[in-house]
């Protein structure tokens, strides 16, 4: 399957910050800073720096890999955005120089890769960036078989006085794929944010980590560290490279 790591940003870069301005990064940044323990961080899919810039503000060294030149341009426009080293390319295979204490892949972006093989390659690439004892953190949603039964879905993501964000999704359970477009309605008009997902359950991600030589250290329901339970709709999973091979 042909895959273009720059496609998401081409559609979304112009409206990304505005559409997700309601997502406060504080809990994620707090947790990531604790997991990095002072060491350098590499963010896969660094985007416009929603997480990376606050991490830099905390004194951490941050680098990134990003498929979209438009998203990187958005990062560069922000104060401090110029100082972050970013390699433009697919995070399943692109390398940035250095050994990192922490590799981050947030906001469901592991699912942006088109198939299982690419996701396994991404785990291997994350492991290759880690120093011994380093961590790979993945934030993703948990597939919901009930929601998938009907084959499609339309759901409100955010309803506020100034804007409404809806998500229309077509689901392809046999291939664990979801075609989705978020629709943002505001006084600025209608904006479309398309994204395709190859989703996976947490247990499959754990196996990908094992294949990459990583072991799961934590799984929480969110960045605040709430326990992961039967009802959890998202997870934050932390995988660790052993201190010794
Ligand atoms: C949902 S955004 C998240 C951005 C940022 N991490 C955040 O939390 O705001 C996903 C980002 O990953 C990038 N991306 C998606 N697939 C990619 C790939 N295979 N390789 C590199 N970047 C990719 C997109 O261009 C986009 O900037």
Closest ligand 1 atom to the C-alpha of 45?
12
Q: List the residue whose alpha carbon is closest to atom 11 of ligand 1.
A: 45
Question: Does the domain formed by 7-143+200-240 have CATH 3.30.230.10?
Answer: no
137 CB contacts (<8 Å, ≥6 apart)?
A: 32, 35, 102, 103, 104, 105, 106, 236, 237, 238, 239
Q: List the chain pLDDT tens, one digit each, 245 residues.
A: 578 999 999 988 998 998 889 899 999 999 999 999 999 999 999 999 999 999 999 999 999 999 999 999 999 999 999 999 999 999 999 999 999 999 999 999 999 999 999 999 999 999 999 999 999 999 999 998 777 666 777 888 899 999 999 989 888 888 999 998 999 999 989 999 998 999 999 999 999 999 999 999 999 999 999 999 999 999 999 999 999 87
Closest ligand 1 atom to the C-alpha of 23?
9
Q: List the residue whose alpha carbon is closest to atom 7 of ligand 1.
A: 50
Ligand 1 residue neighbourhood (C-beta within 6 Å): 5, 8-9, 45-47, 50-51, 65-68, 71, 90-92, 106-107, 109, 112-113
C-alpha 34 to ligand 1 mean position (Å): 23
C-alpha 212 to ligand 1 mean position (Å): 21
Per-residue pLDDT at 5: 95
Domain boundaries, the chain: 7-143+200-240, 145-196
Pocket test for ligand 1, best of 24, 25, 47 (most atoms within 8 A of CB): 47
Fold exhibited by the domain 145-196: N-terminal domain of TfIIb (2.20.25)
Q: List the residue whose alpha carbon is closest to atom 20 of ligand 1.
A: 90
Whether 199 contacts 178, CB under 8 Å: yes
Alpha-carbon dihedral angle through residues 99, 114, 85, 237, given to the nearest 10 degrees: -50
Per-residue pLDDT at 171: 87
């Amino acid at each position: 399957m042909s895959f273009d790591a720059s496609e998401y940003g081409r559609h979304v870069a112009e409206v990304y910050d505005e559409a997700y301005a309601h997502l406060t990064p504080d809990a994620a940044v707090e947790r990531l800073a604790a997991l990095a323990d002072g060491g350098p961080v590499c963010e896969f899919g660094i985007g416009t720096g929603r997480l990376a810039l606050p991490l830099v503000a905390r004194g951490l060294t941050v680098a990134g890999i990003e498929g979209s030149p438009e998203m990187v341009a958005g990062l560069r426009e922000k104060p401090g955005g110029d100082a972050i080293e970013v390699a433009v390319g697919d995070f399943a295979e692109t390398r940035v120089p250095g050994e990192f204490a922490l590799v981050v892949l947030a906001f469901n972006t592991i699912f942006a890769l088109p198939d299982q093989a690419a996701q396994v390659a991404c785990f291997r690439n994350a492991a290759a960036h880690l120093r011994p004892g380093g961590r790979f953190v993945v934030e993703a949603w948990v597939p919901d078989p009930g929601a998938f039964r009907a084959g499609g879905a339309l759901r409100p993501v955010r309803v506020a006085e100034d804007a409404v964000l809806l998500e229309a999704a077509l689901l392809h359970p046999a291939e664990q794929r979801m075609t989705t477009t978020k629709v943002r309605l505001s006084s600025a008009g209608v904006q479309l944010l398309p994204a395709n997902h190859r989703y996976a359950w947490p247990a499959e991600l754990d196996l990908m980590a094992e294949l990459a030589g990583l072991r799961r250290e934590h799984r929480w329901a969110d960045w605040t560290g709430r326990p992961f339970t039967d009802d959890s709709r998202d997870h934050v999973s932390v995988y660790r490279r052993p201190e010794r091979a």
